[in-house]
Chain A
Amino acid sequence: MASVAGRVRTDDDGVVEWLRAGLRERAFGALLDRYEAKVYRLCCAMLRDATLAQDVAQESWVRVWRALDGYDGRASFSTWIYTIARNRCRTALERRRAQQAVIDAEATADDVAATADAPTADDRAAALRRLVDQLPERYRLALTLYYYEERSVGEVAELLALPEGTVKVTLHRARAALRGMLQHQGMNDVRQWLEELP
């Protein structure tokens, strides 16, 4: 863990050096190489809409580009960039909520009604995904990012700016909640599902 932190610090220092040398595009390119996929996955997890996630990720990177000269080094680049991305996602969510509050409410009611029945073998993955979507937001986000980031609690903690212990507890509660929902939906027999999965 310490070596990883040290490597990140060194990488950040390299980018800072490029910025000091006026090599803004090179510094931005290095940051893009390092964090592009993570920022995109964070946006996907928060927004649940690939098109909107792409737009918001792009917006976040444009903000990073514009603010790069003013980067003061108080936080690591990853923390800084993830904070920008999270804030852009929250703004996008608020905008979407304000625009489609009534429509969303109706759609959610329809989804709940549709998932009340036990899923067929054909849509079991979609059904599980829908159950994940029905988890409380903090559970859903932590759980989604955990699998997006190859089961790295540390990465999830950094993306969400939470302590690792909090993430572990949240993941545990998310799994428990999901297990409860599976039992309630009569979808507890995962073995059968796994055999049928492609």
Chain B
Amino acid sequence: MSDNELDAELAQVLQPPRVPADFRARLTAAITAVDAAAQAAATARLQREYESQCGALAADHRRRQRLAIAALVVGGLLAVSIAQALLPWLRLGFGSYASLVLTFGVLAAGVGFTLNWPSPLVPWLE
């Protein structure tokens, strides 16, 4: 048997297969499905990120709110205690104006504290 004979026989037996007629239609459908799935996955991922960030912001906001309220309560109690301690001494110096002086003094201290105290105790000034 010669090489040519074997070659001819093999060429007849090993005919190249043809691409099925519906291959492109099926491929297009598969790509469309994959793209849709990828888009849905990307949308879901972005949605999750957005919700996660919103949750973190809300938690931070609540934490700051609690700190601010705590600061106000502690500050108020401290102011009342100081006023009670200072009032007799102020009466000696200012007489009947002692309450007024004390009120303005507390207000000035409060404003000074608010303006100069670093966050997060006063988040609305950030």
Contacts and interface: CB of A to CB of B under 8 A. Distances in A.
A58 B26 contact: yes
A191 B5 contact: yes
B17 interface: yes
- Among B8, B11, B16, B34, max chain A CB count under 10 A is at B16
Interface in A66-98: 66
- What is the size category of the interface that chain B forms with chain A? 20 to 34
- Among B3, B9, B18, B38, max chain A CB count under 10 A is at B9
8 contacts: A40-B19, A41-B16, A54-B26, A178-B6, A179-B6, A193-B9, A194-B5, A197-B12
B23 A128 contact: no
A66 B1 contact: no
Contact of A128 (B13, B16, B31): B13
A188 interface: yes
Given A57-B23, A58-B26, A197-B12, A182 B1 contact: yes
A58 B29 CA distance: 10
Interface of A: 32, 36-37, 40-41, 44, 50, 53-54, 57-58, 61-62, 65-66, 125, 128-129, 132, 143-144, 147-151, 175, 178-179, 182, 188-191, 193-194, 197
Given A147-B14, A179-B1, 8 more contacts: A40-B23, A128-B10, A132-B14, A148-B16, A188-B1, A190-B5, A190-B6, A193-B9
A76 to B, nearest CB: 22
Nearest to B20: A54
A58 B14 contact: no
A78 to B, nearest CB: 17
Contact of A66 (B11, B16, B17, B34): B34
